[in-house]
Amino acid sequence: MEVLGIDIGGSGIKGAPVDIETGELTAERFRVPTPKPTKPDGVADAVQSIVDHFNWKGPIGCGFPTVVNNGISMTKSNIHKSWVGVAVDKLLQERTGLPVTVINDADAAGLAEMSFGAGVGKTGLVITVTIGTGLGTGVFYDGKLIPNFELGRIFYKNGEIIEYFAADSARKKENLSYKSWGKRFNKFLKHTVRILSPDLFILGGGASKKMDKFIDTITIDVPVIAAEKGNDAGIIGAAVAAKEWPVVQI
């Protein structure tokens, strides 16, 4: 079965058809710029352009960069405040005329790893971390998703959100070495371990490709491994979300 996976990001919106039995993209991914400002109508138009590019007629899975509860955007995070309270799934269904499933983007990336990547067969409490503009996290217990765990939004000190201190964007903005930045990221991991006591971290996103440059700064007593699905994780996981995926009921 194929599903069109779409990953909505702050700078770009990308998509591709995905074989959800194998996790493989069945066509080259297509990317369009995220409209500025990131208001609902503009984003819906961009999604439609991806649907048109593939002449897509089937189901769609979409990763969205906010807390998503039953298809509704609950926060603004790093996009326009007008998204708060919007039923993203219904908006995109009305625009495309196709069935759409919407999930938090970090949860989508985690689903890709747990389904087809470094998390396959991993049990206990597994936390995936997408290191990029922010720190996107997916939390899984015995392979089941616990949705909308935005650990990067934890307050760190003086009211500062920890992803502003420890994400890859902070490294770039402050021109930090990987060793100096790695010590910051280690503080995020230590804080997370203290709160949740996970069994495994899976690191994805751009900085994960340079793990050899900062792994020596990681001092936690929890295994840390690299993700495997790279830049396609959000697309693959969004597609996987369009089929029934086990979710921990809270």
Distance CA 39, CA 50 (A): 17
pTM: 0.93
For 81-122, how does the pLDDT look when each residue is reduced to its tens digit (9 = 90+)?
A: 999 999 999 999 999 999 999 999 999 999 999 999 999 999
**Beta strand 100-104 with 60-64: parallel, antiparallel or unpaired?**
parallel
Bridge partners for 19 per DSSP: 2, 24
Bridge partners for 18 per DSSP: 3, 25
Domains of the chain: 2-107 (3.30.420.40), 118-227 (3.30.420.40)
Query: What contacts 219, CB < 8 A, 6 or more positions away?
Result: 186, 190
Cα angle for residues 137, 174, 222 (degrees, 5° grid): 35
Distance CA 192, CA 199 (A): 11
Distance CA 38, CA 43 (A): 6
**113 neighbors 68 (Cβ within 8 angstroms):** no
Closest to 213 measured CA to CA, from 171, 178, 164 = 178
* pLDDT at residue 206, as a whole number: 81
* Structure token digits, residue 31: 């990317």
Query: Is 78 in a helix, a strand, or coil?
Result: coil
Phi/psi for 211 (5° steps) reads -55, -30
Per-residue pLDDT of the chain (250 residues; tens, 9 = 90+): 999 999 998 889 999 999 999 999 999 999 999 999 999 999 999 999 999 999 999 999 999 999 999 999 999 887 899 999 999 999 999 999 999 999 999 999 999 999 999 999 999 999 999 999 899 999 999 999 999 999 999 998 888 999 999 999 999 999 999 999 999 999 999 999 999 999 999 999 888 889 999 999 999 999 999 999 999 999 999 999 998 655 554 4
Distance CA 82, CA 67 (A): 14
* Structure token digits, residue 84: 């708060």
Distance CA 102, CA 36 (A): 21
